[in-house]
Amino acid sequence: MNEEARARIDQSFAAQSMMQTLGAELIEVAEGLVRIASPILPGSRQQQGFGHAGLTFSIGDSAAGYAALTLLPLDMEVVTAEIKINLLAPARGDRLVATGRVMKPGKRLCVVTSEVHAEADGKSTLIAILQGTMVPVPL
């Protein structure tokens, strides 16, 4: 991935106020793969004290979308057309890490997935899987 493409991802991510609110950060960017980490902050917990599914979904969707963006020309952007989530376990721990991957790139549609893991005490537990479709759109 060239510097200009990486800079586009960094600038776009920095412009997402939702990711800033969640304390999320990009921890890996490569062609067709993006990892986003977010602490499980007091303001992003559900009533039983686990990370809220909204947090899980938000970083999973963003990781998948940015993974798609890594494969698009610089004059294109991406939006989510649809995405589903399977919640597999409670989000117990200190932080969540979402790994977005492109399963099938395309000019009109990109099929993507995300796996979200909760990290606690040096252990990583798969808590959710997302699958969706991203649509490339001109800037």
- pLDDT tens for 61-115 read 999 999 999 999 999 999 999 999 999 999 999 999 999 999 999 999 999 999 9
- Distance, in Å, from the CA atom of 101 to the CA atom of 115, rounded to the nearest integer, reads 9
Residue 5, pLDDT above cutoff 90 = yes
The whole-number pLDDT of residue 28 equals: 98
pLDDT at position 8, please? 95
Tokens found for residue 118: 């909760």
Tens of pLDDT, residue by residue over 14-59, are 999 999 999 999 999 999 999 999 999 999 999 999 999 999 999 9
In this structure, which amino acid lies at residue 98?
A
SS3 state at 24: coil
Structure confidence at residue 63 (pLDDT): 98
Structural tokens at position 29: 């960017």
Those residues whose C-beta lies under 8 Å from the C-beta of residue 138, and which sit 6 or more positions away, are 75, 76, 77
* Greatest CA separation for the chain: 44
- CA nearest to 40, candidates 84, 85, 93: 93
How confident is the model at residue 134, as a pLDDT?
98
Is the pLDDT reported for residue 1 higher than 90?
no
The end-to-end CA distance of the chain, in Å, is 20
